[in-house]
Amino acid sequence: MTSAKHPAISLPISDRVDYLIVVASMAAADGELAAAELTKLREFCMSLELGPAERGVVMAAAEQPDAVHIREVAGRLKSSELRFTLMTDLLFMAYADEKYVEAERREIHALADALGIPDAQRVALEKYVVAVLKAQQTSGVGPEDLKKLGGDVAASLASVGVPIAAVAVSGSVFGLSAAGITSGLAALGLGLGMASGLGVAVGIGVGGYFGVRWLYRQVVGA
């Protein structure tokens, strides 16, 4: 079973580097570069197929983020649906060391503004990230519990217009396996496997994401 590709893989190499420079800035947002954050950042570089030189640029950006460049990159993505993917990746990075501190929260808010993501969508994306992480860490939770959690989070995403395909693969490069992403989507009540519905959703490309509410209804008959 193969993992779906991250949507940013379709960008030119220079734009992939810029994308990851923004993600790298979150690793340093709390003033401390944790080993877990650096590991995830290296994995992300490999996932987006960066060469050694490009990886060096991204890792250096984690050490010394350039706020002006970061806001400029975010501004370029303001009209792209990749803004949802980037915000989700930023949230996964913020949670990579299992702490989400005030400095990281402020940076998330600032980057959401730069990306043109209003508070309601930012909050819904954070709920999605927390739900996926919870699905990874929780044992003994029954299908009905997951479906209830899924209904709540999917409804939250749908109500603010966040497309599920924009965020479904995000997190796979933060150490969540294909099985983990499947679990995360199960926690959203979507019940999609990496080889079935999710593959179809991702395969339509960055410009044609399914709406969450439509997809949710198709899969679970809501």
Instruction: Give the per-residue pLDDT at 23.
Output: 92
Instruction: Give the per-residue pLDDT at 145.
Output: 58
Q: DSSP readout, the chain?
A: -PPPPPGGGGS-HHHHHHHHHHHHHHHTTTS---HHHHHHHHHHHHHTT--HHHHHHHHHHHHS--HHHHHHHHHHTTTSTHHHHHHHHHHHHHTTTS---HHHHHHHHHHHHHHT--HHHHHHHHHHHHHHHHHHH--S--HHHHHHHHHHHHHHHHHTT--GGGTSSTTGGGT--HHHHHHHHHHTT----TTTHHHHHHHT-GGGPPPHHHHHHHHH--
Mean of the per-residue pLDDT values for the chain?
A: 73
Quick: pLDDT tens for 198-210.
Answer: 333 332 222 222 3
Average pLDDT over residues 180-205: 40
Quick: pLDDT tens for 127-151.
Answer: 888 877 776 666 655 556 555 555 6
Is 80 exceeded by the pLDDT of residue 76?
yes
Q: What is the pTM of this model?
A: 0.74
